[in-house]
């Protein structure tokens, strides 16, 4: 039996940068934030090493930022949403700074900006070198704790979406306390905002918290929301390969500072040119993947370009290496490509609105079209904060619906063994390099796992990714098919995309007991 709580204001599921930005801007409407763990734990934003991309310097402009975003996105970036995003850049960084985010400053007191791959200008505002995510989120958490309109539950797992017969999302089913305790609470609210993060935990090699299993996307899908481009997963080329799960990240900014990718024999992986390692992330990830598959290994050599500056300028990377017994001032860092960001997800606008009334999505679980097939570095924190603010304001305008709601059907969890099988399958067959045989095999594994846990949310999310990857018979951005190595012509591609949206497979969430 669950008890029912009526909340008169936005209900936000997720306590990362997107969720907290939404909560702060939803005021003075009473806002409830629900997270499965204490704030700052188990969300990707806190782990971000890069920074916030925005046109902040004299030679830059939102239009240039938008052009770089579109170029990285390989033909699938939506212009309108991207103009909103890049236009919001400076105001977003200033808002975060006004809340206390201690951005690095230049000699004149302006925002210090650095260069990352595929940006035509230096435009990444950083904090403490590689500590942006944690510092920014800490500032927001302090603001949230001080905001009288916000209440936070830090022990609530999302178990279901509550709908009514009209299709409106009316609330959520939350399990509070220790997982499996069965302390279920139905929370009804005028607006539900999913800010549940990505799906990196579906992969055995990931740089994200392993608890992020695409469950928000799976639940939204089960409720009938439109899912966009789920096959587009970004693999980061330089996850530190020292046997940890998740894998610590070696930020791309190291390559921006001149660190080089080499094989075990010290040969450049991508050629000698000074900017060869700053090609788009998917290109670099495939080179790292290939070098490892060949047996030569892949390493990030920071010794010459950065050397003794590492502890001060990249403290998170330095600490991760030293904890693993590796001094990156003396030894090249072993690296692998690992799942890092989900470009696809719940189709949503810049104000978080989805195809379902009452349901909003923001941050990594949303697909707003600004990343297309390949996200430009450091656009994710910008999107989380900028669209988070817009989403909070839009959700605050919603008014409560009345009338009966439909019963919520919960689904079983995956056993730890089944989850590990799924993760290994995803990294092997739905990873950096895909082909029809591997994807079909992965779907068979998922079908077997589903027999024991029908409708388990990680399986729904994984199946959405694998089915779309199988259907997209081309290579584009983060999605590479060795059996279709070229990009399809734009017209054909657009058709494929429309078919993917229309041809949703049956929804296991609905079938579950």
How far apart are CB 512 and ligand SIN at their closest, in Å? 34
Separation between Cα atoms, residue 185 and residue 159, nearest integer Å: 10
Q: What is the DSSP letter of 365?
A: G
User: Among residues 163 and 205, whose Cβ is nearest to ligand SIN?
Assistant: 205
Q: Assess 49 for contact with ligand SIN (CB under 6 A).
A: yes
Q: Assess 378 for contact with ligand SIN (CB under 6 A).
A: yes
In Å, the largest CA–CA distance within the chain is: 69
Q: What is the DSSP letter of 453?
A: S
> Which residue of the set 29, 123, 157, 281 is catalytic?
281
- Total residues at the site for ligand SIN (CB under 6 A)? 10
Q: Assess 206 for contact with ligand SIN (CB under 6 A).
A: no
Q: Assess 21 for contact with ligand SIN (CB under 6 A).
A: no
Name the residue whose CB lies closest to ligand SIN.
Answer: 50
How far apart are CB 484 and ligand SIN at their closest, in Å? 26
Q: What is the DSSP letter of 14?
A: -
Q: Assess 467 for contact with ligand SIN (CB under 6 A).
A: no
Phi, psi of 59 (to 5 degrees): -85, 10
Task: Convert residues 65-104 into a mask of x (bound to ligand SIN by CB under 6 A) and - (unbound).
Answer: ----------------------------------------
How far apart are CB 22 and ligand SIN at their closest, in Å? 20
Question: DSSP string of 243-272?
Answer: S-SSPPB--THHHHTT-EEE-TTS-BSS-S
How many Cα atoms occupy the beta-carbon half-sphere of 449 within 13 Å? Answer: 27
User: Among residues 252 and 450, whose Cβ is nearest to ligand SIN?
Assistant: 252
Given its phi and psi angles, is residue 41 left (phi above 0), alpha (psi -120 to 50 degrees) or beta? beta
Separation between Cα atoms, residue 204 and residue 191, nearest integer Å: 34
- 465: its two tokens: 């990714």
User: Among residues 244 and 452, whose Cβ is nearest to ligand SIN?
Assistant: 244
Q: Is 323 exposed, middle or buried (0-12, 13-18, 19+ CB in 10 A)?
A: exposed
Stretch that binds ligand SIN, among 216-224, 245-253, 260-268, 479-487 (CB under 6 A): 245-253
- Would residue 281 show up in a list of annotated catalytic residues for this protein? yes
Axis-axis angle for helices 17-26, 132-146 (nearest 10): 30
Q: Assess 208 for contact with ligand SIN (CB under 6 A).
A: no
Contact 221, 460 (CB under 8 A): yes
Q: Assess 377 for contact with ligand SIN (CB under 6 A).
A: yes
Q: Assess 251 for contact with ligand SIN (CB under 6 A).
A: yes
User: Among residues 223 and 386, whose Cβ is nearest to ligand SIN?
Assistant: 386
CA distances from 160 to 24, 410, 471, 510 (A): 25, 6, 28, 11
Candidates 252, 351, 429, 450: give the one binding ligand SIN (CB under 6 A): 252
How far apart are CB 49 and ligand SIN at their closest, in Å? 4
User: Among residues 138 and 378, whose Cβ is nearest to ligand SIN?
Assistant: 378
Q: What residues between 314 and 343 interact with ligand SIN by CB under 6 A? A: 340-341
Candidates 16, 50, 197, 438: give the one binding ligand SIN (CB under 6 A): 50
How far apart are CB 375 and ligand SIN at their closest, in Å? 7
Neighbours of 412 (CB within 10 A): 14
Look up tokens 């939204």; give the residue.
220
How far apart are CB 108 and ligand SIN at their closest, in Å? 25
Contact 14, 35 (CB under 8 A): yes
User: Among residues 277 and 351, whose Cβ is nearest to ligand SIN?
Assistant: 277
Stretch that binds ligand SIN, among 61-69, 197-205, 251-259, 285-293 (CB under 6 A): 251-259
Stretch that binds ligand SIN, among 250-258, 300-308, 472-480, 501-509 (CB under 6 A): 250-258
How far apart are CB 341 and ligand SIN at their closest, in Å? 6
- 367: its two tokens: 């697909």
Look up tokens 């969300």; give the residue.
43
Contact 218, 457 (CB under 8 A): yes
User: Among residues 253 and 430, whose Cβ is nearest to ligand SIN?
Assistant: 253
Candidates 21, 92, 196, 380: give the one binding ligand SIN (CB under 6 A): 380
Question: Which residue pairs from 306-314 have beta carbons closer than 8 angstroms and sit at least 24 positions apart in sequence?
Answer: 306/254, 306/257, 306/258, 306/259, 312/129, 313/129, 313/130, 313/257, 314/129, 314/130, 314/251, 314/253, 314/254
User: Among residues 49 and 355, whose Cβ is nearest to ligand SIN?
Assistant: 49
Active site residues: 281
Residues near ligand SIN (CB under 6 A) are 49-50, 251-253, 340-341, 377-378, 380
């Amino acid at each position: 039996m669950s008890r029912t709580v009526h909340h008169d204001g936005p209900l936000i599921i997720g306590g990362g940068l997107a969720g907290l930005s939404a909560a702060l801007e939803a005021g003075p409407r009473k806002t409830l934030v629900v997270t499965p763990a204490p704030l700052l734990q188990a969300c990707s934003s806190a782990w971000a090493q890069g920074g916030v991309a925005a046109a902040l310097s004299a030679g830059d402009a939102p239009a240039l930022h938008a052009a770089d975003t579109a170029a990285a996105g390989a033909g699938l970036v939506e212009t309108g949403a991207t103009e909103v995003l890049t236009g919001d850049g400076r105001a977003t960084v200033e808002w975060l700074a006004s809340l206390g985010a201690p951005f690095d400053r230049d000699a004149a007191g302006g925002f210090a900006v650095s260069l990352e791959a595929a940006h035509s200008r230096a435009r990444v505002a950083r904090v403490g070198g590689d500590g942006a995510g944690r510092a920014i989120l800490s500032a927001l958490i302090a603001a949230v704790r001080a905001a009288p309109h916000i209440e936070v539950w830090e022990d609530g797992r999302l178990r279901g979406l509550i709908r009514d017969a009209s299709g409106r999302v009316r609330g959520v089913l939350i399990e509070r306390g220790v997982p499996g305790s069965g302390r279920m609470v139905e929370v009804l609210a005028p607006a539900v905002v999913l800010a549940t993060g990505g799906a990196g935990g579906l992969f055995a090699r990931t740089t994200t918290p392993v608890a992020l299993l695409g469950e928000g996307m799976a639940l939204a899908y089960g409720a009938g929301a439109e899912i966009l481009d789920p096959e587009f997963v970004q693999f980061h080329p330089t996850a530190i390969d020292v046997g940890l799960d998740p894998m610590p990240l070696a930020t791309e900014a190291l390559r921006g500072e001149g660190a080089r990718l080499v094989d075990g024999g010290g040969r450049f992986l991508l050629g000698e040119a000074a900017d060869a390692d700053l090609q788009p992330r998917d290109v670099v990830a495939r080179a790292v993947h290939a070098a490892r598959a060949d047996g030569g290994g892949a390493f990030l050599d920071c010794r010459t370009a950065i050397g003794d500056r590492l502890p001060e300028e990249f403290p998170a990377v330095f600490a991760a290496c030293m904890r693993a017994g590796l001094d990156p001032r003396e030894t090249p860092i072993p690296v692998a490509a690992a799942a890092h960001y989900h470009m696809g997800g719940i189709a949503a606008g810049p104000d978080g609105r989805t195809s379902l009334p009452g349901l909003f999505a923001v941050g990594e679980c949303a697909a707003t079209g600004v990343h297309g097939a390949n996200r430009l570095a450091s656009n994710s924190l910008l999107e989380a904060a900028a669209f988070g603010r817009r989403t909070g304001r839009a959700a605050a305008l919603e008014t409560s619906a009345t009338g009966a709601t439909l019963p919520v059907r919960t689904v079983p969890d995956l056993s730890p063994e089944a989850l590990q099988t799924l993760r290994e399958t995803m990294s092997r067959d739905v990873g950096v390099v895909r082909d029809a045989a591997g994807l079909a095999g992965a779907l068979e594994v998922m079908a077997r796992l589903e027999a024991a846990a029908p409708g388990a949310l990680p399986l729904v999310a994984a199946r959405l990714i694998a089915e779309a990857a199988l259907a997209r018979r081309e290579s584009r951005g983060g999605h590479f098919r060795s059996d279709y190595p070229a990009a399809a012509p734009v017209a054909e591609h657009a058709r494929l995309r429309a078919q993917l949206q229309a041809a949703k497979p049956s929804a296991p969430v609905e079938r579950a007991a």
